[in-house]
Structure 1
Amino acid sequence: MYSLIELQKKLLPDMLLIMQKRYQILRSIRFMEPVGRRTLAQALGLSERILRSEVEFLNDQKLITIKTSGMTISQQGLSVLQGLEGIMRDVSGINEMEERLKKELNLQEVVIVPGDSDETPWVKQELGRACAKRMKKRLVGENIIAVAGGTTMAAVADMLTFDFIGNTNTLFVPARGGIGEDVKNEANSICAKMAENTGCKHRVLYVPDQVSKEVYDSFVKEPIIKEVLSLIKKANMVLHGIGDANVMAERRNTKEEDMKIIQDGHAVGEAFGYYFNEAGEVVHKVPTVGLKLDDFSHIEHVLAVAGGSSKAKAIKACMKSATNSTVLITDEGAAKKILS
């Protein structure tokens, strides 16, 4: 038996294309509101003439509101958007892509959001929203959530709300020390934001991510640091991003001799101070303060969040070392490139 969508693809393909285009416009308005027509046209790669007719249609259907400040989505438009979400995943083949990627990477679950965060910045918000949903489904009783740094983790923090936690008792802790990047993208700041948005508690770890063995041995003797490291090791959920190897090496101000090891080893991905080549082999390891890959086998839920077609190799490489408890949350751009 053909499904209704399969029949429409055969008999009315143009209708599905129009529906996809209007759905994409509605989604973009929702994330960019209030947004002007020119800005929206540039974001979607459409001419202003084509966008004008579509915007007029959406306005006539009372799905959007047009003001001098820009376009916003109406409550009716939001309902339509939410109602279409599942259908559009079938139409665009995302559900099928998730199954293929799950088998390809041998993971428990793969979640793909529409779009490519390299091309459309607000897709990162969708990654954050998808991660928040998966977190909520897995939280029961008392929880310690260890959170890494990065812009994607910051997007996850933005999507958490007071109704997220429910009746659970949850503590947010940084998964590792800071690497000296933008303070708002450091693990400590992201933990604080997550705690603030959900009404939960958090702890901080004010130590550098990368230290010598002598400094590390000195740090872990400090009572406060020792206590936080103990909490991190007890985490039942970990949230982390995946980085491009060369980008992360530069952010860490990696020494020239270590940079040579990373480049000669053809590293493409990085997570928790481990640099992986395309075969998933660790070619370099940075001594870091916090969680290490060996700890992951004891953690009940690991959520890896990363998107953008430019990160496809990094994601595939890092996922080769993933545990059975890992859920990958990525976007269409990365997923298509990995599968190709």
Structure 2
Amino acid sequence: MTELLKILQKIMPKEMSALSRRYTLLHTIRLFQPIGRRLLSQKMRISEKVIRTDTELLKSEGLIDIVFAGMTLTEEGARVLDSLQELMRPLEELDKVREGVQTLLESQELYVVPGDSQNNQEAFKELGKEAARVLLEHLQGKSTVAITGGSTIRKVVEAIPFQKAPSPFPKLMVVPARGSLGNNAKIQANNLVAKMAERLQCRYRLLNLPDNLSRKSLDSVSQEPEIKEVFSLIRNADIVLFGIGIAERMVERRNLEPSVMEEIREKRAVAEVLGHYFDGQGNIVSTSCSIGLRLHELEQGGGYPIAVAGGADKAEAILAVRKYLRRGALVIDEGAAKRILALAAGSKTL
């Protein structure tokens, strides 16, 4: 990426993301014109809602025409597209990386931000901002949003702008996808739920239970009316925002029994999602006694999933759980994306 683009990315990351998307949109229209919104959405693999917003803006600027047969580029639109080519070439290279990963993972919607969160806090921030943008685009007035804990989801919450009164989401409900775990309160789901609700000025409910209860204790507390009510909200959530963990880190964070930790390590787990541990081939090798949302509920078409993971060191974990990333949105960074392609190129089993 040129020095100018790096500066622009730092100063106005949201605008640069929109510029890249609209540039690609204009380029796609040029290739397939006349083209309708639905087909354009399929080719770009982004939602029709985003396509509608962008095309209406481009039409108002005189860059495209929208007629019965579909959308076409205007003379001015073609001129603008040609003028942008040199500037956008580095971003096009990132877009090629995104397309390669999207094809590999078969993701419904994939977003890739520049940089590598593994060793760059600015990139980590941008990852959070992009995921927050995707979340806000999918919010509806009466939505229920279930979120997990973790440092990545914390970045997403911190990137959500504070809404001005009166709240645009007075009937929105935010709940933790799972019980709390570990001793770091700053990244526990309950804490992040309260912070998200504060920013969105909406309702929320907490799940005041540890994540790792015994089966007997879990069966007992599940019958409490207040817990049952929160469970119902979680399992009927419209949107599920979650991170993808590296198994070894999550084993330490969850304070598991030594025998369980040893088993997970012996089975060479590399990833963790919603209390499920996966080996490098995507097999579930261990499952914690879950409080809240279960993986099969997400797989079977529950809420709209938004998965977020950044850093080259998360690539193996992302590949391990890719079966569960096909539906909904996946937000990653350049470091993870390039490492995913490198791992895939070096393995005949991927």
**Of 215, 218, 232, which residue of structure 1 is paired with 2:217?**
215
**Of 322, 334, 343, which residue of structure 2 is paired with 1:319?**
322
Cα deviation, residue 89, structure 1: 6.3
CA separation of 1:22 and 1:181: change in aligned 2, threshold 3 A: farther
Cα deviation, residue 90, structure 1: 4.6
CA distance in 2, matches of 1:198, 1:89: 34
Cα deviation, residue 214, structure 1: 0.7
Match of 1:227 in 2: 229
Where structure 1 has 5 or more consecutive residues not aligned to the other structure, the ranges are: 1-16, 31-77
What is the 5 A alignment of 1:127-146? 127-146=127-146
CA root-mean-square deviation: 2.3
- Scaled by the length of structure 2, what TM-score is found? 0.73
CA distance in 2, matches of 1:303, 1:274: 17
CA separation of 1:230 and 1:83: change in aligned 2, threshold 3 A: closer
CA separation of 1:221 and 1:136: change in aligned 2, threshold 3 A: same
Cα deviation, residue 327, structure 1: 1.3
SS in 1 for 2:318: helix
Cα deviation, residue 151, structure 1: 0.7
Cα deviation, residue 265, structure 1: 1.2
Cα deviation, residue 109, structure 1: 1.2
Q: Which moved more, 1:131-140 or 1:155-164?
A: 155-164
**Of 266, 273, 280, which residue of structure 1 is paired with 2:275?**
273
Opposite residue 299 of structure 1, the aligned amino acid is G
Equivalent pairs counted in the alignment come to: 273
Report Cα offsets for 1:76-99 as digits up to 9, x if no partner. Answer: xx5997499527765241212222
CA separation of 1:22 and 1:260: change in aligned 2, threshold 3 A: same
Opposite residue 305 of structure 2, the aligned amino acid is V
Within the alignment, does 1:180 sit opposite 2:182 as a pair?
A: yes
Match of 2:263 in 1: 261
SS in 2 for 1:320: helix
Cα deviation, residue 113, structure 1: 0.4
Match of 1:9 in 2: none
CA separation of 1:90 and 1:325: change in aligned 2, threshold 3 A: farther
Match of 2:5 in 1: 23
Where structure 2 has 5 or more consecutive residues not aligned to the other structure, the ranges are: 21-83, 343-350
Cα deviation, residue 319, structure 1: 1.8
Report Cα offsets for 1:95-123 as digits up to 9, x if no partner. Answer: 12222111101110110000000111121
SS in 1 for 2:196: helix
CA distance in 1, matches of 2:330, 2:14: 28
Cα deviation, residue 184, structure 1: 1.3
Match of 1:91 in 2: 90
Cα deviation, residue 255, structure 1: 1.9
CA separation of 1:85 and 1:21: change in aligned 2, threshold 3 A: farther
Q: Tell me if structure 1 keeps the 8 A contact 2:141–2:168.
A: no
